[in-house]
A and B are shown apart, each in its own frame.
Chain A
Amino acid sequence: MGIQRAETLKKNKVKEFFLAIKNGSIWTKLSCLFMGAGQIARKQFLKGALYLLLEIAFILYLIFFGVGYLAKLGTLGTVKSSEVWNDETGVYDKIQGDNSFLILLYSVVTLILIALFIVFWLMNVRGNIKNDKRIANGLGVSTLRQDIDEFLNQKLYVPLLVPPFIGLLVFTVMPIIFMILIAFTNYDQQHLPPGNLFTWVGMDNFKLLFSGGLSSSGSFLATFLRVLLWTLVWAFFATFTNYFLGMIVALMINKKGIKFKKVFRTMFVIVIAVPQFVTLLLMQKILDVDGILNVVLGTKIRWLADTRWNSLIPRIVIIVVNIWIGVPYTLLMCSGILMNIPADYTEAARIDGASTVQIFFKITLPYMLHVTGPHLITQFVGNINNFNIIWLLTGGGPIDLNNYTDQAQSTDLLVTWLYRLSTDNPVRYNIASVIGIIIFIISASMSLITYNRSSSAKNEEDYQ
């Protein structure tokens, strides 16, 4: 019912809008065609000129650039670049064909610009309708000073939001739309522009993934499930080992009667100060076959490259290194929270004769889980996307020849696989995009659970 009401409300608004144009002054009507005409006629020169310029620029852009690309969006180009023997000049003439990539990219740009233009057009017409009303009420149109004043007060959000959102539009929204579209094309090594064309293939890439269609060896679905399984196993262990070990260390350091608290804490926190890529590369070298660990132990274990037992050793080593990196962070977080546990609870429990272990499991742990629950899920999602640790330690490797399909190596996560698919030969941008969309679905659904449960989203005005 609510939706219905909202819809009728919307319909009414649209109706109202067109009615206002119909009953509006000649300037309002003219402004629908020539943006800014009404403003100029009513001496809002700067505003009017800006609108007019915008319209001219937009039309010029469409004619000379946008339309050409948009027209080819349906096919993504039909003419391959080629070289044709020219008898007169005696050389091969290059024929510039279509570039599917640029067609898609510039079509996306053009569509976004059209959407923006529509917004400006609406603003322009609304401005005129407002002017009509003001004149009818004998108020006169707003001056430039009044307009500026409005943007610094009631409409302050406009100047505050527009610059950041332009950045967002160009470097986040546009690339994301573009890459989502790529998931519905056959953009891969065989269809690389500018030499070749790629085109729309509908849901084929998703079908390949979920129907287990044939790929280089065996089924693609099997590879995908293998990588997904390891991603989830890794994220699970990485999150929980860090969480519980960090909490235990925090409990030990914060225990009554333990001295040198600050010294111990500093020893752990030092690790945070060194950038992660440095510590990870350092670890990679320490764990190398010729690395210092093997030198000290007098062994020749390939910590990061052993492929026996389904690459079990590298997998465990990665999780252990992650403990070394992550525990200090958990320690910092837990120390703060532990100090906030109301002392009455633990004291009361102690007087009732509860042992330390009981207090931990009945009071401390539930309290911690309650406070840090959302953090745990965020961590889990972060670990699913933890590119650095895998890439810098093993590079996704080792390559286990018994188990190497579709470029996915033994310790590849979905993200590193995605990266490999879009950088290594043969590139498969389309499949990479599909994987990106799946990662998005996984993280989005997990984050939504957190977001709905976290109180900060609901009670944002609690402290005001």
Chain B
Amino acid sequence: MKTNVNSQSSTTKNKKLGQKATNTIVNTIIYIILSVMSIIWVLPIVYLLYTAFRVTPDTGIINTLIPKDLKLGVGNFAYLFKDTMFPKWLGNTLLVAAISCLVTTLFVLMVSYALSRLRFKLRKPIMNVLLVLGMFPGFMSMIAIYFILKAMGLTNSLLALILVYSGGAALNYYICKGFFDTIPKSLEEAAILDGASQIRVFFAITVPMSKPIIIYTILTSFISPWCDFIFVNTIINDREKYTVALGLYKMINAEKSSFNENFTVFCAGACIVGGIITALFMSMQRYYVEGVTSGAVKG
């Protein structure tokens, strides 16, 4: 009997030991896989940085990874700011992004609030129509938009870009409305009982409580002009009025040659754009996590 118990406990011990051993093996394998994968994921970014700082006589044509006369420096950045229109493009993009993100955020908030909080006859039909409109591919209407802008005498202007980027803002109400739906109504009802008007409730209660979603909307709408080159390409022909995305795109894709001179300069520009967007994300990150109603209404 005793031996039996002993043997039983020893087998469980063995089993545990075996489990521990397999666990260590599994963990080691996972560490190896994760390390290899992280390297694969980071390598292109490292390569981007390396190319941006690479100053060698063979600028552009990459026929060796590390040429004998390798020099690193900020030469590409200097060239980018002195000899290309990059500063101009940067300014254009900043302007367009800033204004269109303001308008977009305002529009999204207005539509979301109306559809989430106010009750009126056409509410459901409007939501359905917006849903359907959002399913048409954007490129389909690009040509028509170009001609509408032309009829308004707006082609080749940054204003056109702002209008196009913020014109469709109402379609992106969905996430923001979902957020408003989760804010308890009790606060607003209390305010209305106290005699506040609907519009005051919107500005004084809902907007301050929606910081995370507002910042999310600002971020996404600020970033999209930095990444779009298709609409810019259709609407704007004047090199002076390019945004960074189109400028950089044209820099290495203008001629259909397989490799051209500008690759290192392109990488330098890409680093700057990437840096700006990364910095934005880093500084705004904490708002994503911040609870919405924390402290306002408990339970």
Contact = CB atoms under 8 A, between A and B. Distances in A.
Contact of B135 (A105, A163, A278, A440): A440
B12 interface: no
Nearest to A149: B197
B141 A252 contact: no
Contacts of A182: 144
Report the interface size class on chain B.
35 or more
Interface in A412-427: 415, 418-419, 422
A58 B137 CA distance: 33
Contacts of B132: 444
Interface stretch (A46-54, A80-88, A253-261): A253-261
Interface in B153-212: 163-164, 166-171, 178, 181-185, 197-199, 202
Contact of A289 (B41, B131, B258, B281): B258
Interface stretch (B2-10, B68-76, B81-89, B113-121): B113-121
Contacts of B107: 163-164, 167
Interface in B136-156: 136-137, 139-145, 147-148, 151
Given A171-B167, A281-B252, A282-B48, A257 B184 contact: no
A265 to B, nearest CB: 9
Interface string A168-189: 1011111110110010000000
Interface of B is mostly: helix
A279 interface: yes
Contact of A451 (B131, B141, B270): B131
A385 B136 CA distance: 10
Q: Specify which of B44, B135, B249, B277 lies most central, judged by the most chain A CB atoms within 10 Å of its CB.
A: B135
Interface string B258-272: 110001001100100
Given A152-B197, A267-B42, A274-B45, A164 B277 contact: no
Interface string A80-101: 0000000000000000000001
B171 A277 contact: no
A264 B38 contact: yes
B274 interface: yes
Interface string A105-149: 100000000000000000000000000000000000000000001
Given A179-B144, A267-B38, A268-B41, A292 B47 contact: yes
Nearest to B119: A157
Contacts of B30: 252, 255, 258
Nearest to A418: B139
A279 B277 CA distance: 13
A286 B30 CA distance: 28
Contacts of B182: 463-464
14 contacts: A156-B198, A160-B110, A161-B110, A163-B107, A163-B110, A164-B169, A257-B23, A258-B31, A277-B227, A328-B41, A419-B142, A436-B136, A436-B139, A464-B185
Interface of A: 101-102, 105, 149, 152-157, 160-161, 163-165, 167-168, 170-176, 178-179, 182, 249, 252-253, 255, 257-258, 263-264, 267-268, 270-271, 273-279, 281-283, 285-286, 288-292, 295-296, 324, 327-328, 356, 385, 387, 391, 415, 418-419, 422, 429, 432-433, 436, 439-440, 443-444, 447, 451, 456, 460-464
Given A252-B30, A282-B44, A439-B137, 16 more contacts: A105-B151, A149-B197, A156-B202, A171-B145, A172-B136, A174-B144, A175-B148, A176-B144, A257-B23, A270-B41, A275-B223, A275-B273, A277-B245, A286-B47, A288-B258, A324-B40
Instruction: Please give me the 7 A-B residue pairs with the lowest Cβ-Cβ distance, nearest first.
Output: A171-B167, A175-B141, A436-B140, A175-B144, A267-B38, A167-B167, A273-B278
